[in-house]
C-alpha cells in the first residue's frame, strides 16, 4: 500500500525491494526494506492487537541533489492529507520519520548517492473503516 501511494505521486520513479534479485533499475529509484518486520505492541494477546513496522526507504541516484530532493519529498509525502487519509482508511498511521546516514558509494567510474529515511508505521490489523461505502 505504501509503495502504491509513492507510485501514485511519482509514477516515473521505480520503487523496488532492496533485497531484489536482478538488474538495478535506471536512476533515480527508491528501495525499501523492513527494519523491524513485526514489533508487537502488546504481547499477552496477539490476535488483532496493533503493532509497529519500521521500513527504510533509500532514494538512489547518480546525482546527489536528486537523491537528496527525493528523500525530502518522501519525508513530506505521507504527512499530506490525501496520502495520510489513504493509509488511515486501511488502519495504518505514520508514527515517525527519521533520517538515515547517507550511504554514498563510489564505483570504478561513477558515484551512487543514497539518502533515505526510516519510517515507523502503526498498524491496526482488524481495522474496519466505517466511513467506506459499500
pTM score over 0.75? yes
Q: What is the mean pLDDT of the chain?
A: 83
Please answer whether residues 32 and 3 qualify as being in contact, where contact means their C-beta atoms are separated by less than 8 angstroms.
yes
Reading the block at residue 118, the C-alpha cell is 526510516
Q: Is the pLDDT of residue 134 over 80?
A: no
Who's near 96: CB < 8 A, 6+ residues apart? 118, 119, 120
DSSP summary character for residue 27: S
Residue 44 has pLDDT above 70, yes or no: no
Interval 125-130 mean pLDDT:
67
Q: Is the pLDDT of residue 106 over 60?
A: yes
Query: With pLDDT > 90 as the criterion, what percentage of the chain qualifies?
Result: 45
User: pLDDT exceeding 70 applies to what percent of the chain?
Assistant: 80
Instruction: Give the mean model confidence (pLDDT) for residues 23-47.
Output: 74
Instruction: Give the total residue count for the chain.
Output: 134
What does DSSP assign to residue 126?
A: T
42 CB neighbour count, 10 Å cutoff = 10
CA nearest to 94, candidates 74, 111, 79, 82: 79
Position 25 confidence tier, pLDDT thresholds 50, 70, 90: very high
For range 108-123, the mean pLDDT: 84
Quick: pLDDT tens for 60-98.
999 999 999 999 999 999 889 999 999 999 889 999 999
Amino acid at each position: 500500500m505504501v509503495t502504491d501511494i509513492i507510485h501514485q505521486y511519482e509514477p516515473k520513479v521505480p520503487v523496488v525491494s532492496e533485497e531484489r534479485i536482478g538488474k538495478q533499475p535506471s536512476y533515480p529509484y527508491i528501495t525499501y526494506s523492513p527494519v523491524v518486520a513485526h514489533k508487537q505492541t502488546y504481547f499477552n494477546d496477539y490476535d488483532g492487537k496493533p503493532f509497529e513496522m519500521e521500513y527504510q526507504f533509500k532514494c538512489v541516484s547518480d546525482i546527489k541533489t536528486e537523491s537528496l530532493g527525493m528523500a525530502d519529498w518522501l519525508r513530506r509525502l505521507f504527512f499530506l492529507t490525501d496520502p495520510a487519509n489513504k493509509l488511515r482508511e486501511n488502519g495504518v498511521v505514520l508514527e515517525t520519520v527519521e533520517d538515515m546516514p547517507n550511504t554514498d558509494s563510489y564505483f570504478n567510474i561513477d558515484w551512487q548517492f543514497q539518502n533515505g529515511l526510516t519510517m515507523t508505521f502503526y498498524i491496526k490489523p482488524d481495522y474496519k473503516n466505517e466511513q467506506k461505502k459499500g
